[in-house]
Structure formats: structure tokens, C-alpha cells
Amino acid sequence: MNCRHCAEPLHHTFVDLGFAPPSNAYLSQAELGSPELYFPLKLKVCSHCWLVQTEDYAQADLFFSKDYAYFSSTSTSWLEHAATYAKTMTQCLELNSDSFVIEVASNDGYLLKNFVASNIPCLGVEPTASTAAAAESLGIPVLREFFGEALGKRLAGDGRLADLIAGNNVYAHVPDINDFTRGLKAALKPGGTITLEFPHLMRLIEHTQFDTVYHEHFSYLSLYTVAKIFAAAGLCIYDVEELPTHGGSLRIFGTHAERAPAVSDKVAAVLDAEASAGLQGLAVYEGFQQRADAVKNGLLSFLIEQKRAGKKVAAYGAAAKGNTLLNYAGVKPDLLAFVCDAAPSKQGKYLPGSHIPVFAPELLKTERPDIVVILPWNIASEVMSHTAYIREWGGKYAIAVPALEVK
């Protein structure tokens, strides 16, 4: 396999999580008796440009189907994050009714609805029919297709160049990251701004967040590598923000290289931090597997211990990261009876691989588990706030990453 960005041969493995089904391929009861597709879940690291990437084996449309179950609006904290971003960008870029905003991977309209409310023209690009329909019901125009250079040029040819192109947690999801980035350049006005948010590879390594590895994520990104990818497409990163979302993310600000403003000192600061963390050397990548195994083994030992003690254990959050963790650990319903999730699209279904049933959160009140394992640890505070009633019967919470913790 060659690197998806620089085409250099890939010789080094970052982490190998065995085989697993796609993390958002939730099953109906009727599907439980049918074979499941499993794919290798292995990451390689390029020792030339330091892009961490999944092995080549499948197409994106296998993972982003018409009934894709992830709806961004399920998380209240994420809705607040999006509303704050929209307000800030509207003020900073002086967006108005003459402006045009594009969001790539607009999901269910969680972000663009804020621009609609401000009478700022916008367009969503979203290939999954289930979430696109939800966005359209909010009055958001949506193109139901994958974004890339061809679409960017088509938008430009139609006179639909953007003042702002936003992409939240999509950059890691694209199989051809060079084509996607060229599309950003093609669809951007001469003085326009691109913002992309993505989980920061440095934080993934620091906090052993191997459960954020799943097939829908083709790339695991550092500022160093993204700057190289942008430069190759004729774009420049002029600012960056470090965010707490998804266990530690970056929000980069980019524009056409030929029109780039002065580069913020924050860019150099993040690049220096990455270098100090060893992200441009092999040692930090080659030592990660052992740390991931320790987290997996810690969770499995804990669940077995609870079963032997006669404790009832459930989980909260039918999240993709949870599916990676449970499948790697080999956890089944005998150790984890059920998982609750606030998303109606997941309720009544079963987790891929583990076949653990998903129910509405209200089941916690009737089943009264002794332990609730919070699988989406990045919103643990939100989950504990919404389910604080488990304390009434002495229930406790457990979080597995970066190390097992009972609260």
C-alpha cells in the first residue's frame, strides 16, 4: 500500500485492531441471523509525510449508506458547539444575506440551521439520505453526494463560490484526501475561508484513544500533515484552535495560498507541540499497540469481575467508538446486557459485531444497573448529567479510556 497523500510506500503499522464490521452498521432483529461483513481494522503510518491511515480495502459508500444512523443533533453539547461557531464566524467574516456558506458533511442540519435562522444563504453537501432528509426538513438545501474536486468545480462553474466552507469531523472520513482538498480550493471565493475540525492525532496518542479508530475514519490527522496536504492543493493554514471536542480536536483556518494573511503564532505553537510529542518519528507510533491492548484488557477484566460478583452492567451511548472498543475486546451481551442511546435511529437495533441490543435511556430506570459504562467518553459529563438518577439506587459509572475509571 502507498500513502494516500504522498504515494510513498507504507511499511509501518500504528495499531492493529483485528477484524470488525463497520462501526455504524447497526443491525435490525431480522438481520441478526444473516452474515456480517468484517473488514481489517489496521492503521499504517507514512514515515515521509506522517499521515496515519487505514489499510485500503473498501469503498466509502459501504460505510455511509442511505440509512446511516449517526445524527449530530442527538448531542446537546454538540448543538451548543455548532451554534457558538456559527455566531462567531458570522461576526468575524461579516456574513450576511449576500454571503454564501457551504458545509461539507452537513448531516442533519445541526450547524447550517443557525445560518438559515440568520438569513445567510447556505448549502449542505451530505451523501447519506437519512440525515440529508432531516436537514431539508429544516429548510436547508442539500446536495446528496460526496464532495470532491469535481463537485467543487461544478459549484464554481454555477457561480456558487463560498465565503465560508465548513467541515466538521469529515476530513478524516474521506478516502481521497487530496481530491477532497482540491475541491475545497475550487469551491472557495478568492477571499474566502475554510474551517475544518478533526480529532487531533496528538491527543489520540496521548490519551490512548484507539477506540476512535474505525473504518469510516480513513485518516488520523496532525497539523503538520494537514498543512502539507493543504499546501499541495494551493491552500494555506493561517490559524488554528485547540478544542476539547472528541477528546481533543483542532479547528484549522485556511484560504488560498496566494491570498493568505499573516500566519498566527498558534500555528507554530501546535507544530512545536507535535514535534515535541514525537509525531515526526517512528517510536511514538510503534509503542501504541501495547497501550491499546492494556486498555482493552482492563475493560475486559473489569466486566468479568462484575459478572462474577453478580452485578448488572449496562452501557450508555451506542457510539462508533464504543463499537470499536467492544469488538476489539470481544464483549458480548453476557458481559454487557444492553446499551441505551438517545437517538431514535439506533433504538430497537443491535450493535454491529457484539449484537448488544440498543434501547431508549428510560430502560435504565426499570433495569437499575449497578454499573453504566459510558462508551462515548468525550461526552461523559453530559451523559452523567442526563442520567444522574442512577445514583438513587447506588449505580456507578465506568469509563474505559484512557484507563478504567469508576465514578
CATH (domain of 227) = 3.40.50.150
- What is the rounded end-to-end Cα distance, in angstroms, of the chain? 43
Report the DSSP beta bridge partners of residue 243.
Answer: 249
346 found inside a domain: yes
Residues 213 and 300 in one domain: no
365 found inside a domain: yes
Residues 315 and 171 in one domain: no
Q: pLDDT tens, position by position, for the chain (407 residues)?
A: 999 999 999 999 999 999 999 988 899 999 999 999 999 999 999 999 999 999 865 555 555 554 554 666 667 888 999 999 999 999 999 999 999 999 999 999 999 999 999 999 999 999 988 899 999 999 999 999 999 999 999 999 999 999 999 999 999 999 999 999 999 999 999 999 999 999 999 999 999 999 999 888 999 999 999 999 999 999 999 999 999 988 899 999 999 999 889 999 999 999 999 999 999 999 999 999 999 999 999 999 999 999 999 999 999 999 999 999 999 999 999 999 999 999 998 999 999 999 999 999 999 999 999 999 999 998 999 999 999 999 999 999 999 999 999 99
Give the orientation angle of helix 288-308 with respect to helix 320-329, to 10 degrees.
Answer: 80
27 found inside a domain: no
pLDDT score, position 77 = 83
In total, the chain counts a number of residues equal to 407
Peptide bond into 9 cis (omega under 30): no
Residues 270 and 306 in one domain: no
30 found inside a domain: no
Residues 116 and 227 in one domain: yes
Residues 93 and 228 in one domain: yes
pLDDT score, position 23 = 87
pLDDT score, position 245 = 87
Residues 201 and 139 in one domain: yes
State which amino acid sits at residue 36: E
Domain end residue (candidates: 233, 253, 279): 279
67 found inside a domain: no
pLDDT score, position 74 = 67
pLDDT score, position 78 = 85
Number of domains in the chain: 2
Q: For residue 272, what are the domain limits?
A: 72-279
Joined grid coordinates for residue 101: 456558506
pLDDT score, position 130 = 86
Residues 254 and 327 in one domain: no
pLDDT score, position 62 = 57
Residues 335 and 274 in one domain: no
**Largest separation between any pair of C-alpha atoms in the chain:** 66
Contact 395, 369 (CB under 8 A): yes
Residues 140 and 238 in one domain: yes
Residues 263 and 293 in one domain: no
Residues 303 and 271 in one domain: no
Q: Is 264 exposed, middle or buried (0-12, 13-18, 19+ CB in 10 A)?
A: middle
pLDDT score, position 59 = 56
Distance between CA atoms of residues 219 and 175, nearest Å: 8
